[in-house]
A and B are shown apart, each in its own frame.
Chain A
Amino acid sequence: MRCKQVRVILLDGLAIPGDPLPDGAAAHLAGCPACRRLQAELEASWAMLDSYPCPEASASFDQAVWARIRKTEAPAGRSRSRVPFFLARHAWVVGSLAAACLVIVIGVLLAVYGGAGKSPATSAARAAAAVPAVFPTAPRSAPTLPCQGAEPAAVVAEADEERLLEEIDELLGADPGSVADPAYIETPEEPGSRSRPASPAGVKDPPVSPRGSTPGVSGTSAARWAAGVCRHA
């Protein structure tokens, strides 16, 4: 037997103290001082391990074990009774699904109720409904005023309405010269009679409806009136 084989046997042989070595190993040991020395050292170091004292378990070991068992068992039982197993094990999945559902519901509610007032169709309808209230008989709605044809009715604000009415009143009331005699307008001018009646009493106020058309307004005044409307539009 070779030294290497014998050393393996020696290392294994210590497993069972007193177990006899194989014949070949014993013969090798008898003639090999190096292997004999290794055997002695191995036995000594193995025996050295015997002098390794160990502390005894404490008297309260069992009580401590039972106390820890009860302590660790109680919270687990409570949690099992409170939370279903699926929720406890897949809490993140359930949370994600709940968050996704919440986002979808909020989005649907916003789409149905939040954005409806801003839709262009509704705004146009509201503006169209508001125009007759502003100008019940407004020339805006009348096709006789070409400057208003393409204008959206909603651009006329309520503040402008009052100013417009004031201007109309001013034009019709504050400039009496502009109000012509219907006879003067309608009848062609006779030769030699170009002067107007001197008496102001001869001036007849045309029947002006407050916000309606102005029959009797001269062509110049009507143009100015229309220009004012366009300016304020």
Chain B
Amino acid sequence: MDADAALMVRVREGDDGAFAELLGRYRQSAVHFAYRLVQNAAVAEEIAQDAFVNIYHARSRYEPTAKFNTWLFTVVTNLSLKHLKRKRRWLAVSEADEAAARKYEDCPSPEKSPLDGMVEREAAEGVRRAVRALPDKERTAIVLHKYHGKSYQDIAAIMKCSLGAVKTHIHRGKLRLCALARGRRAENPPDRGLREVCDEM
């Protein structure tokens, strides 16, 4: 039994301190994962909190054979995809509003120059657009694979699908990202990037 499973067993037996320890371990991972799927900081934090609350209420059903982080990522994935479906249905927040909100989320670190900050923001915005362009399942598989180092087996367990389906999602996602990056390069050729334009000025 790994350390997370042992903590979760203690939580099942009524030890809230063990749950606080799990909260400290996986807080950032849950928020980051949700943010990369929904691309909104406030919503991502709410989804991560919901995931922990749901896990706490379902603690009596936990079996030590299951990995705790697989369970957590499964819950976050389900909540995030549910939010994305609801958002698509109602279109509550426009793209412009989200971009305006992200300006404050992506404040560059103070040690960087304004130019570096602008370049960083431009790159981040390009990545965000590329990730947003992916279908939900491909995005989930790519994010789990790329940012959280999950194996194909773990991704299959989290997404509740077969190993072959995970491979297909990841391959298609990579090719789609490749095509998007190619499109970006066509729009902004490397020899005329933001840095060069600024250098000329």
Structural contact, B123 and A51, CB atoms closer than 8 A: yes
**B128 partner, pick from A15, A52, A55, A58, beta carbons under 8 A:** A52
Structural contact, B20 and A62, CB atoms closer than 8 A: yes
* Count: A-B pairs, CB below 8 Å: 98
Structural contact, B181 and A48, CB atoms closer than 8 A: yes
Neighbouring A residues of B158 by C-beta, 8 Å: none
- Please, what's the 1-or-0 string for B1-32, where 1 marks a CB less than 8 Å from any CB in chain A? 00000000000000000001001100110111
The smallest beta-carbon distance between B104 and chain A, in angstroms, is 10
Structural contact, A65 and B182, CB atoms closer than 8 A: no
- Which B residues, 12 to 71, have Cβ-Cβ distances below 8 Å to chain A? 20, 23-24, 27-28, 30-32, 35-36, 41, 44-45, 48-50, 52-53, 56-57
Neighbouring B residues of A54 by C-beta, 8 Å: 31-32, 35-36
User: Is B170 among interface residues, defined by CB-CB distance under 8 A?
Assistant: yes
Q: A residues bordering B, Cβ < 8 Å?
A: 8, 11-12, 14-15, 38, 41-42, 44-46, 48-49, 51-58, 61-62, 64-65, 68-69, 72-73
Structural contact, A11 and B131, CB atoms closer than 8 A: no
**A49 partner, pick from B50, B177, B182, beta carbons under 8 A:** B177
Structural contact, B45 and A57, CB atoms closer than 8 A: yes
Q: Which of A11, A12, A45, A51 counts the most B-chain CB atoms under 10 A from its CB? A: A45
CA distance A184 to B170 in the complex (A): 137
Neighbouring A residues of B152 by C-beta, 8 Å: 15
Neighbouring B residues of A62 by C-beta, 8 Å: 20, 23-24, 27
**A65 partner, pick from B53, B170, B177, beta carbons under 8 A:** B53
Q: Which residue of A lies closest to B105 (CB)?
A: A55
* Known pairs A61-B27, A61-B49, A68-B49; A48 contacts B124 (CB<8 A): no
Structural contact, B181 and A55, CB atoms closer than 8 A: no
Neighbouring A residues of B23 by C-beta, 8 Å: 61-62, 65
User: Is B145 among interface residues, defined by CB-CB distance under 8 A?
Assistant: yes
CA distance A69 to B22 in the complex (A): 15
Q: Which of B27, B32, B49, B50 counts the most A-chain CB atoms under 10 A from its CB? A: B49
Structural contact, B174 and A45, CB atoms closer than 8 A: yes
The smallest beta-carbon distance between A225 and chain B, in angstroms, is 96
Q: Which residue of A lies closest to B176 (CB)?
A: A45
* Known pairs A61-B49, A65-B23; A52 contacts B44 (CB<8 A): no
Neighbouring B residues of A61 by C-beta, 8 Å: 23, 27, 31, 45, 48-49
Neighbouring A residues of B146 by C-beta, 8 Å: 46, 49
User: Is B115 among interface residues, defined by CB-CB distance under 8 A?
Assistant: no
Q: B residues bordering A, Cβ < 8 Å?
A: 20, 23-24, 27-28, 30-32, 35-36, 41, 44-45, 48-50, 52-53, 56-57, 105-106, 120, 123-124, 126-128, 130-131, 142, 145-147, 152, 167, 170-171, 174-175, 177-178, 180-182
Neighbouring B residues of A65 by C-beta, 8 Å: 23, 49, 52-53, 56
CA distance A45 to B178 in the complex (A): 5
Structural contact, B57 and A49, CB atoms closer than 8 A: no
Q: Which residue of A lies closest to B40 (CB)?
A: A55
Q: Which residue of A lies closest to B41 (CB)?
A: A55
Structural contact, A42 and B178, CB atoms closer than 8 A: yes
**A38 partner, pick from B35, B126, B178, beta carbons under 8 A:** B178
CA distance A46 to B32 in the complex (A): 18
Question: Can you name 6 extra interface pairs (CB under 8 A) apart from A8-B171, A49-B142?
Answer: A11-B171, A41-B181, A49-B146, A51-B120, A55-B105, A64-B49
Structural contact, A72 and B28, CB atoms closer than 8 A: no
CA distance A11 to B145 in the complex (A): 12
Structural contact, B57 and A53, CB atoms closer than 8 A: no
The smallest beta-carbon distance between A183 and chain B, in angstroms, is 117
Structural contact, A57 and B28, CB atoms closer than 8 A: yes
Structural contact, B124 and A51, CB atoms closer than 8 A: yes
Which 7 A/B pairs are nearest by Cβ-Cβ distance? A45-B181, A55-B41, A51-B123, A45-B177, A57-B31, A54-B32, A11-B171
Structural contact, B124 and A57, CB atoms closer than 8 A: no
